[in-house]
Structure 1
Amino acid sequence: MYHNRLKRTLQEMSKRNLKYLMIYADREHYGNFEYLTGYGPRFEEALLIVDQSGKSYTLLGNECLGMAKQSRIPTEGILFHTFSLPNQPIHDNKTLKEILQYIGVDANVRMGMAVWKLLYPDFGTRQDFDVPSFIVDKVKEVTGEGSLENVTDLFIDPQYGLRVINTAHDIAYFEFGAAYASDAVQNMLRHTRTGLTEIEVSQYSTSGSLPTSLFPKVLAGERMDFGMVSPTTNKLRLGDRFQVSMGLIGGQSNRRGFAVYSEKDLPEESRDFLDKIAKPYFTVMVNWYENMQIGVKGSEIYQMVKDTYPRNIHGWFLNPGHLISTEEWMSSPVYEGSEITIKSGMMLQMDIIPFLEKKYAAPNCEDGIAIADEKLREEIKALYPEVYGRIMARRKFMEEKLNIRLKPEVLPLSNITGLYRPYMLNKDKAFVIRRED
């Protein structure tokens, strides 16, 4: 699998006439690095350099250098103390310039740098880099101005990026994390009760020490307004707005609503929550799942959401859906005017996020899916029958219990895909679709 990834990367380098490709990584942003090496740096930075022949070099700090031996592609590990933690021992320190010269980089060679943002073509030029200046400056000192260009799109552009289309092996790998993330959310919700603190609720997570792909959240009451903050000793009260989420490599599950058992527990000013807020959200979420299919344009999904869930009422502004991978949000083919079509092998997150006035809990029911044509489904079934069985069980639940009609190519990765309880303390009631036909 990794051999094929390297082969495809080298082909893209050849098309772009790149003699070297540099891939930068840190703890938060390592998806492109991990795509070839099979791991990400922990609390340090890293730099993978691949030449046209396929030979690679991995620059690592003191505590991650040993990981080079575990690389999924052959590589030479090089200790680069600048990537180490502050004040750690430095022995025989080599500068980046010296390392580049050792590798063979010289003046006027074409080099590509992949990081994690799609600065080009949306936000700038190929001469803009979201990487520490001490790296860019030294590379340019060796190669000369204009020889280095941003090629992050090579990996994550939603139209043609190498990482956009996943194999059966990839989907099985990512399903593992998505399933655990959804179990974590489900377990927290099952044990949630008034009087518990946010920290106490978070301790019911079942995710163990698996690596997270985004900021985990347990928030209650007014602390919902803070956004990206960690749980505290704040106690959950009846009638509070409430949210739990967990994202692991492969998928995220997120649930948000009111901590109530029924309408009578809602604040007086929010008694119309079910009809005015929660039902329209669940409806557009179902539409998203039912419209997702091979060949549909990203703009068509976007327009469907825009038409059936108006922004001026519900306040959403982020992409209603995006690609997932090692990252929780890799890039997105779903935006206004997008001509990008949904393809077999893509993995996407149902991610419609309303922003409402404070008296309402803005509903949220995020989960991930994979898109797989018949050939890819058969490969998953043959190679990973247990994964396939879990996916089929999820489809059956969504179709038979929730009455959500999925295209054959839609494979739910979360154990709670489509399951939304707006009254989050009530474990016996959830939304289902009622149809007239």
Structure 2
Amino acid sequence: MINAKNITYTTVKEPFWGLPKEQPKLEDEVYKQRLDKTLKAMEAVKLDYLLVYADREHYGNFDYLTGFGPRFEEALLVLDKSGKAHIILGNECYSMYKYSRIPAEGILYHTFSLPNQPMGGNRKLKDILTEIGINNSQTVGIAGWKLLESRHIFDTPSFITDSVRDIVGDENAVNATDLFIHPEYGVRIINSANEIAYFEFGATYASDAVQQMLLNTRTGLTEVEISQFGTAGSLPTNLFPKVLAGDRIDLNMVSPTTNVLKLGDRFQVSMGLIGGQSNRRGFAAYSEEDLPEESRDYLEKIAKPYFATVVNWYEKIGVGVAGGDIYDMVENTYPKEKYGWFLNPGHLIATAEEWLSSPIYENSDITIKSGMVLQMDIIPFTERRYAAPNCEDGLAIADEALRMELKEKYPDVYQRIENRRNFMKEVLNH
């Protein structure tokens, strides 16, 4: 077990491994397997229908089967236990059903459109669902995006859940989000080589964007100007990007402004794209002498213990390790009472979600499995005079068989993964 005394602060060579030129495409077989897994999950809990909700922020479960999200509208995938699918869409997204990665019929429902758009001929959702085949003898699952304390509490809009309850009754309408995202048995938590290669594309661009912003940061630049050094272009994000300087760090969840970075400021940059997020937080300084006088013990008191814990996290994570054991390691080496962290020290990531769900929590007996894609995510909250360090990055867990499949099918992806592993082992020495 590494501790702060084992950490040396020095300069290392900046790693550059290039950006992927071609984005791997998810194969038809991937979507067939996803549909099969979903139908088996429905059968296990005796669902006749599964309704999968989507909006601009919460479309991951919907995208998992259809291959797209509704952007600024809402959408509903209706899947029956035989595998027949209907996609209910608003005005501007209606034509997208034709491109669904699973066979599906499209239904136009104007209420999913933007306010004051044409509504002529609009039908009630209850009538649409009844025409599809839902009746009062059936059990219907509704998948939103949260794991809630009861199967009869929903995070989807009431006009959707009320329509279902009007047909099948309160008892036969159940929250089925766990079928997708539960960290033990959710169908989305294990990924194939094809899916990991797809995720690695976005994760690489996110990492490069953060690296380039940090390399080009200079005092006197605004947060907006620093953000323009990012290399992610218009790739879809899985959370909003951040560039924060000085006291604006205390606001946490805000976007860049024309606030000017000064020497010694607390400073943070992050970029999250489909596949992963990279985040770095610390001080804008060349040396300890550039820090505010009251913060010059930052390395010894805050940063080195944090880095040691991150090292231990990466060394401990692996197939078969219980999430509770990882939690205990973090608590024992970087106790929350002293360093102020309170979120899960690591979580699952996925297509549209920077945070899917987490097997890493106190007393968790859920084990880490090959095919999981996770994010190292330990966020301390310390005294205001310190820039609490925060390093977040994604990784894939792969046994030997999955590693060999990646090497054979996606040699460029595999080589970049090996480059990162070697950098951590040979340059960072862990």
Range class of TM-score, shorter chain: over 0.9
Correspondent of 2:94 among 41, 46, 65 = 65
Match of 2:349?
Answer: 324
Match of 1:416?
Answer: none
Query: Is 1:392 aligned with 2:397?
Result: no
Query: Is 1:47 aligned with 2:47?
Result: no
Give aligned-pair identity as a percent.
68
SS at match of 1:368: strand
Deviation, structure 1 residue 178: 0.4
Match of 2:376?
Answer: 350
5 Å matches for 1:120-269?
124-269=149-294
Do the aligned partners of 1:178 and 1:252 also contact (CA within 8 Å) in 2?
Answer: yes
Do the aligned partners of 1:108 and 1:144 also contact (CA within 8 Å) in 2?
Answer: no
Correspondent of 2:318 among 285, 293, 308 = 293
Find the aligned partners of 2:32 and 2:337 in 1 and give their Cα distance: 48
Deviation, structure 1 residue 108: 2.7
Query: Is 1:302 aligned with 2:327?
Result: yes
SS at match of 1:296: coil
Superposed CA RMSD: 0.7
What letter matches 2:74 in structure 1? E
Query: Is 1:335 aligned with 2:361?
Result: yes
SS at match of 2:61: helix
Gaps of 5+ in 2: 1-29
Do the aligned partners of 2:111 and 2:119 also contact (CA within 8 Å) in 1?
Answer: no
- For residues 277-316 of structure 1, the C-alpha deviation after alignment (integer angstroms, 9 at most, x for no partner) is 1101100001000111111100100000000001111111
SS at match of 2:330: helix
User: Structure 1 length normalisation: TM-score?
Assistant: 0.91
Find the aligned partners of 1:114 and 1:132 in 2 and give their Cα distance: 11
Deviation, structure 1 residue 91: 2.6
Match of 2:15?
Answer: none
Query: Which of structure 1's runs of 4+ aligned residues deviate more than 2 A?
Result: none
What letter matches 2:317 in structure 1? M
Do the aligned partners of 1:299 and 1:337 also contact (CA within 8 Å) in 2?
Answer: yes
| Farther off after superposition, 270-279 or 89-98 | 89-98
What letter matches 2:208 in structure 1? D
Query: Is 1:2 aligned with 2:28?
Result: no
Deviation, structure 1 residue 28: 0.7
Deviation, structure 1 residue 319: 0.4
Match of 2:107?
Answer: 78
Do the aligned partners of 1:23 and 1:113 also contact (CA within 8 Å) in 2?
Answer: yes
SS at match of 1:89: coil
What letter matches 1:344 in structure 2? S
Find the aligned partners of 1:219 and 1:363 in 2 and give their Cα distance: 14
Query: Is 1:96 aligned with 2:122?
Result: no
Find the aligned partners of 1:392 and 1:371 in 2 and give their Cα distance: 13
Find the aligned partners of 2:121 and 2:404 in 1 and give their Cα distance: 53
Match of 1:414?
Answer: none
Do the aligned partners of 1:273 and 1:360 also contact (CA within 8 Å) in 2?
Answer: yes
What letter matches 2:61 in structure 1? N
- For residues 159-214 of structure 1, the C-alpha deviation after alignment (integer angstroms, 9 at most, x for no partner) is 11100111001100100110010011011111100000000001111111111101
Deviation, structure 1 residue 382: 1.1
Find the aligned partners of 2:133 and 2:329 in 1 and give their Cα distance: 52
Deviation, structure 1 residue 215: 2.0
Find the aligned partners of 1:38 and 1:29 in 2 and give their Cα distance: 14
Deviation, structure 1 residue 47: 0.4
SS at match of 1:175: helix
Query: Is 1:23 aligned with 2:52?
Result: yes
User: Structure 2 length normalisation: TM-score?
Assistant: 0.92
Query: Is 1:359 aligned with 2:398?
Result: no
SS at match of 1:216: strand
Find the aligned partners of 1:246 and 1:374 in 2 and give their Cα distance: 30
Gaps of 5+ in 1: 405-437
Deviation, structure 1 residue 145: 2.2
Match of 1:430?
Answer: none
Query: Is 1:401 aligned with 2:427?
Result: yes
Match of 1:376?
Answer: 402
- For residues 380-399 of structure 1, the C-alpha deviation after alignment (integer angstroms, 9 at most, x for no partner) is 11111111111111111111
SS at match of 1:215: strand
What letter matches 1:28 in structure 2? E
What letter matches 2:227 in structure 1? S
